[in-house]
Amino acid sequence: AQKVTQAQTEISVVEKEDVTLDCVYETRDTTYYLFWYKQPPSGELVFLIRRNSFDEQNEISGRYSWNFQKSTSSFNFTITASQVVDSAVYFCALGGSQGNLIFGKGTKLSVKP
């Protein structure tokens, strides 16, 4: 069975702190895709990154970075020097052979000024 676990339900940090959101997945597929989405209070899910299972290189995009560890089935997301605008619910998702996305329950990040 495919499953995504985001064990952190809520995280609260003060602006400029670094924060890491954890994502652990389960799949029997040899080829699969991992995603992160951001959902601000407005409701729309904003796509952040798509990574395929054969590419284990870490990725950095501005203040965002992602650490893909196949050995531990994890795809963690780090925000460096967090800002108030980063406050949102963040979802990790797994896409495999079935075509659909399996979402985790999300982590609510609050960044306080």
Partner 1 sequence: ETGVTQTPRHLVMGMTNKKSLKCEQHLGHNAMYWYKQSAKKPLELMFVYSLEERVENNSVPSRFSPECPNSSHLFLHLHTLQPEDSALYLCASSHRYKGDSTDTQYFGPGTRLTVL
Strand-pair partners of 79: 19, 64
Name the segment binding partner 1 (CB under 8 A); options: 14-22, 64-72, 73-81, 89-97.
89-97
Establish if 36 lies at the interface with partner 1 (CB under 8 A).
no
Establish if 45 lies at the interface with partner 1 (CB under 8 A).
yes
Residue 81 vs residues 33, 38, 51, 72, 104: alpha-carbon distances, Å: 27, 17, 23, 26, 25
Give the residue, chosen from 26, 47, 84, 112, that forms a contact with partner 1 under the rule CB under 8 A. 47
Query: How many residues belong to the site for partner 1 (CB under 8 A)?
Result: 24
Residue type at position 102:
I
Answer for the pair 90, 21: CB distance below 8 angstroms, yes or no. Answer: yes
CA–CA gap between residue 94 and residue 33 (Å, rounded): 6
Name the segment binding partner 1 (CB under 8 A); options: 17-25, 63-71, 72-80, 103-111.
103-111
Binding site for partner 1 (CB under 8 A): 31-33, 35, 37, 42-47, 50, 52, 91, 95-96, 98-101, 103-106
